[in-house]
Amino acid sequence: MMLSSLFENTDLIHVYSRAQAIADGGLIDVSETAHQAGWRASVALTAAVWGDCVAWDKYQHVYQDESGRLWDVLTMALFAARGRRRSNRVLFTVLRIPRGGRRPEPVRLAVEIGPGDAGEPVITIMQPEED
């Protein structure tokens, strides 16, 4: 038996689409704001990035809002992506005030372009250790 025949006509055990990840809350679709910020493809943030860099309780000691924090992430990701055209994944830094904090602190994030559910180019902004 040839090794290559072992994987031919194999049934997939599980496929988890981008649309399912958005529906489940693992990804947050921010395409509408991203298009306003200059992105041409659909953009989603992982739930971890949203929770750490965008989500904001208006009753915290420092006034910010989620809209401004999202624009910061999208803008810094766009600058990083435009500067590195030969890679599908680029690391960048954004300043954000952490929960309970009062001063901005840098956080490293990754922006990655890859195929969407129909093969179209899509952007995902994630923490560097996420895939």
Q: Name the burial class of residue 103, with classes exposed (0-12), middle (13-18) and buried (19+) by CB atoms within 10 angstroms of its CB.
A: exposed
* Of 101 and 29, more confident: 29
Distance CA 46, CA 64 (A): 21
**In this predicted structure, what is the pLDDT of residue 60?**
63
Mean pLDDT (whole number) for 90-119: 92
pLDDT-wise least confident of 9-23, 43-57, 75-89: 9-23
Distance CA 84, CA 90 (A): 7
The pLDDT of residue 5 is above 70: no
Pairing type for strands 105-115 and 27-29 reads unpaired
Q: Which amino acid is at 72?
A: D
Q: Which amino acid is at 68?
A: G
pTM, full prediction? 0.85
**In this predicted structure, what is the pLDDT of residue 1?**
46
The pLDDT of residue 57 is above 70: yes
Task: Residue 106: name the closest of 73, 131, 130 by CA.
Answer: 73
**In this predicted structure, what is the pLDDT of residue 33?**
97
User: Cβ atoms within 10 A of the Cβ of 53, count?
Assistant: 24
Q: Which amino acid is at 7?
A: F
Mean pLDDT (whole number) for 40-61: 89
